[in-house]
Amino acid sequence: MSPLLALSLLLLAIPIAWFVRRRRARASAPRLPDGWRARLHARVPQAALVPAALRERYEARVEAFISRKRFIGCNGLVVDDDMRLTVAGLAALLLLRDDDATLFPAVRSVLLYPAAFLVRHDEPDELGLVDDEPVEQIGESWQGDRVILSWEDVEAALAGDAVNVVIHEFAHQLDDENPWSEGAPPMADYTQWSQVMQREYERLQRHRRPPVLDPYGAESPGEFFGVVSEAFFQRPVELRRHHAELYALLAGYYRLDPAAAPPLWSAA
Ligand SMILES: [Zn+2]
């Protein structure tokens, strides 16, 4: 073999080896270490809603979330592994619908506050006025790169509170992945989604005391999607009873049937 031919074969071999390595790396999904799997299920009751057939996918999403998102403690909160696992374990419940669901691509950081935090918004309202009074928030989802959460309220969701700030804020992220509409994540066919969501949104706007859904959902289609996603995970039996069509729509989208699972909280 001439030295020139040997060199060109070697040069060709390098990209092939790189390609094979990348293919192998992509084919084997990230897996949670065994100890973490037990912690995930002990910390996050909602993890029990994932059926056996989707459990491997779920755990791979949790692992990928923890390794790719940066967690930042605010107001003195020190973020530990259990906190990372909890936020990832709740957020990944929204990502079971297909093999290559994107992992909240816009989110680079998760900011955790110990409890509700004060935010001063300086965008003008519809009258052009700026209200610089600080507002108390338990969570925010930015269209830029971050989700902000109150840890106290994350823990309340684990204990069965109707509010689940992780589900709510990450549902906003799914919504924002589709820049052409509000209240709808990306999907192939919007026909059924639009019909059911519009009808239920208008119904919530008419109700003064809705039985299951937080009236805050009547603020906008985006907030409605956040609120119904929270109810789907925190109050599934009631949601199915009072809003059967809406429940079925979300069950189809999220690939979960939480109302059919044993109740997570005895008092709920
Ligand atoms: Zn919201």
SS3 33: coil
- Tell how far the Cα of 119 is from the centroid of ligand 1, in angstroms: 14
Kindly list the averaged pLDDT for each block of 10 residues, start to end, along the chain of length 268: 58 53 49 88 97 94 95 97 97 90 92 92 71 84 88 98 97 92 92 97 90 94 97 98 97 97 82
Nearest alpha carbon to residue 27 among 94, 98, 104, 99 = 99
- Tell how far the Cα of 226 is from the centroid of ligand 1, in angstroms: 6
**pLDDT number for residue 2:** 60
- Tell how far the Cα of 148 is from the centroid of ligand 1, in angstroms: 11
**pLDDT number for residue 211:** 86
- How far is the C-alpha of 232 from the C-alpha of 114, rounded, in Å? 26
Q: Tell me which residues have their CB within 5 A of the ion that is ligand 1.
A: 223, 226
**CB-neighbour burial class of residue 6 (10 A; exposed 0-12, middle 13-18, buried 19+):** exposed
**pLDDT number for residue 148:** 96
User: All domains of the chain, ordered by start, with CATH?
Assistant: 31-260 (3.40.390.10)
**pLDDT number for residue 46:** 98
- Tell how far the Cα of 52 is from the centroid of ligand 1, in angstroms: 31
- Tell how far the Cα of 162 is from the centroid of ligand 1, in angstroms: 14
- How far is the C-alpha of 109 from the C-alpha of 120, rounded, in Å? 20
**pLDDT number for residue 268:** 46
- Tell how far the Cα of 8 is from the centroid of ligand 1, in angstroms: 57
- Tell how far the Cα of 48 is from the centroid of ligand 1, in angstroms: 25
**pLDDT number for residue 111:** 96
